[in-house]
Structure 1
Amino acid sequence: MSTTTATTAAAAPPAKKRAKMTDRSRAENRLGQRLVAPAVIVMLLVTAYPMFQALYLSLFRYRLTSPDDKTFIGLSNYGTVLTDSLFWQDTLNTVIIMVVTVGVELVIGFAFAMVMHRIVFARGTVRTAILIPYGIITVVSAYAWQFAFSLNNGWVNSWFSWLPWIAPETNWFGSHWPAMFAIIVSEIWKTTPFMSLLLLAGLSQVSEDMVEAAQVDGATWWQRLWKVIIPNMRAAIMVAVLFRALDAFRIFDNIYVMTRGAQDTESSSFLTYRQVIQQFQLGLGSALSVLLFLAVLLLAWLIVKLFRVDLAQARGEG
């Protein structure tokens, strides 16, 4: 019996030990903490009070029109929000906008990043031209796209009337999905340059020697892309997707300018705006703000877990 146990123990593979942090990693962590500390302190001083104030107000029935009628109701505001179908419809709209825009921007932004990385002639001009939409104020670009999709004066219907689903009399803001499409297009046009800029930074970190070695070994362009370039850009892709997803989840400007939430195009941020600014419901609005904050935290956690990026390996220590 003891011989069998000893044989089994000897045959079992050794447990994988957790990699120890190198001296370089410790030094970089300490330096990073010192560099980030002032900004973190300032952000906490600026944001801590509004966050706790929102959490506090979410426990009350409180309207600005009746400042003396402030009643503690515990978690009732959260129950009201979570059982309201409008909240879930707006959350679904937000998720759809976020998933579609980030997915399309990732593909187009990567293509732009490849062009900016490889082009030799007029590189500065090309990079500047690609980044122009991101430099335009969101409200201005939203008004421009609202005009482009307008029924009477817009150029979208006239330019693309050759497509079977577009006619000169197409009313983009007359129903839900066309209005959502117009909002998504405006968001993609505005923020794709930001995605391409982040991906360009990651693309510049990919070793040219590895790409050339794969080419010498007979790998096609697609094989080099999927097997060499993209795996070595996982950290940059994660950062780009994380930043854009969190930003898209809080979309407000485009919806406010283009539809005012009509045709069931409200987002979670727009619903919060209506409760606080238009209806003066500080209690419900604060509960919505807290839920939106928790949703953003959950989204960030899911994206980080999905990519599973080893930052030590990304620095070349793995």
Structure 2
Amino acid sequence: MSTATAGVKATGKTVTKKRSDRARSENRLGQRLVAPAVVVMLAVTAWPMIQALYLSLFRYRLTSPDDKDFIGLSNYGTVLTDQLFWQDTFNTLLIMVVTVAVELVIGFAFAMVMHRIVFARGAVRTSILIPYGIITVVSAYAWQFAFSLNNGWVNSWFAWLPWLEPDTNWFGSHWPAMFAIMISEIWKTTPFMALLLLAGLAQISEDMIEAAKVDGATWWQRLFKVILPNMKAAIMVAVLFRALDAFRIFDNIYVMTKGAQDTESSSFLTYRQVIEQMQLGLGSALSVLLFISVLLLAFLIVKLFKVDLAQARGEG
């Protein structure tokens, strides 16, 4: 082995060691910074979670507080063998996949506009973010009015479409009602997706894009070869946050359909069991299953993107 080769290897080991030391130091600092928030969150959420897990093991209805029987995992068996649970889970997954996919495309377009625009940049960014600042219940009522049969503007404005009639009842059947719910969700939360993607765009070096232009890369080549690969971490965060939020959808469904036409979500089913029917045992089992589903969903999204956080920090 030559002296030069040995020097290169030694230098590589030194750089790797420095990077490892830096990563460990940043991890320790990050743990210390988030520790107070984690302690507070555990103090606030740990007891309700334990209580829900405990109640899920009992046949317990609030109308008969003295009649509480231990039944083990029977509540989970009842839920998992109920067709309504799987129908609501399908509705929830469908809303999540469709809304997040559409929001990702439109949000990226908005982020590109906000990133590139020079004239009236503040006004443009503010106008794009307005829907996200509106309370969800208010926006849901607005979209319920927009799709209403008698007074809504959707039927009159889009009457030129061949499949739309002036007397179309959007809330009279399953798929039109689901479409209306998803439109309201997309309108409300696309600005949040755009905001997260804008942060990712701001981290891309303009020198890399200019170098691609000099090499003759087209706009599409720059998008798929330079911009999107360097935004992978930001896209993962945006998709993760929005997917978890969409999976817990409740407000829009409650306001627009109240679960009619088979438009219930998992969260709405839990609400009906606990609040309307006062079935604390079954409702707690549903809450635990919803919590497990959210954890599994987060795990799958992180694994799907396979983001190298060290490389995203510029260490790779």
Q: TM-score, normalised by structure 2?
A: 0.94
CA distance in structure 2 between the partners assigned to 1:51 and 1:207 by the alignment: 44
CA distance in structure 1 between the partners assigned to 2:112 and 2:69 by the alignment: 58
Q: Which residue of 1 aligns with 2:260?
A: 262
CA distance in structure 2 between the partners assigned to 1:194 and 1:82 by the alignment: 34
Q: Which residue of 2 aligns with 1:14?
A: none
Deviation by residue 1:81-134 (Cα, 9 ceiling, x = unmatched): 000000000000000000000000000000000000000000000000000000
Alignment of 1:101-250 (within 5 A): 101-250=99-248
Post-superposition shift, 1:28?
1.2
Q: TM-score, normalised by structure 1?
A: 0.94
Deviation by residue 1:142-161 (Cα, 9 ceiling, x = unmatched): 00000000000000000000
Deviation by residue 1:132-191 (Cα, 9 ceiling, x = unmatched): 000000000000000000000000000000001111100000000000000000000000
The amino acid that maps onto 1:161 is A
Q: Which residue of 1 aligns with 2:91?
A: 93
CA distance in structure 1 between the partners assigned to 2:162 and 2:40 by the alignment: 54
Matched, 1:279 2:277: yes
Structure 2 unaligned spans of 5+: 1-12
Q: Which residue of 2 aligns with 1:9?
A: none
CA distance in structure 1 between the partners assigned to 2:28 and 2:127 by the alignment: 39
Range with greater deviation from structure 2 (160-169 or 260-269): 160-169
Q: 1:40 aligns with which of 28, 38, 41?
A: 38
CA distance in structure 1 between the partners assigned to 2:86 and 2:194 by the alignment: 32
Deviation by residue 1:252-306 (Cα, 9 ceiling, x = unmatched): 0000000000000000000000000000000000000000000000000000000
Match of 1:115, SS state, is: helix
Range with greater deviation from structure 2 (28-37 or 104-113): 28-37
Range with greater deviation from structure 2 (20-29 or 185-194): 20-29
Post-superposition shift, 1:54?
0.2
Post-superposition shift, 1:313?
0.2
CA distance in structure 2 between the partners assigned to 1:263 and 1:110 by the alignment: 33
Match of 2:67, SS state, is: strand
Q: 1:81 aligns with which of 79, 82, 85?
A: 79
The amino acid that maps onto 1:267 is S
Range with greater deviation from structure 2 (216-225 or 22-31): 22-31
Q: Which residue of 1 aligns with 2:3?
A: none
Post-superposition shift, 1:23?
2.0
Range with greater deviation from structure 2 (299-308 or 27-36): 27-36
C-alpha RMSD over aligned residues: 1.0
CA distance in structure 2 between the partners assigned to 1:274 and 1:131 by the alignment: 33
CA distance in structure 2 between the partners assigned to 1:157 and 1:203 by the alignment: 38
Match of 1:66, SS state, is: coil
Q: Which residue of 2 aligns with 1:54?
A: 52
Q: Which residue of 2 aligns with 1:6?
A: none
Match of 2:283, SS state, is: helix
Post-superposition shift, 1:24?
1.8
Q: Which residue of 2 aligns with 1:11?
A: none
CA distance in structure 1 between the partners assigned to 2:248 and 2:77 by the alignment: 22
Task: Say how many residue pairs are matched.
Answer: 301
Structure 1 unaligned spans of 5+: 1-16
Identity of counterpart residues, as a percentage? Answer: 87
CA distance in structure 1 between the partners assigned to 2:101 and 2:159 by the alignment: 26
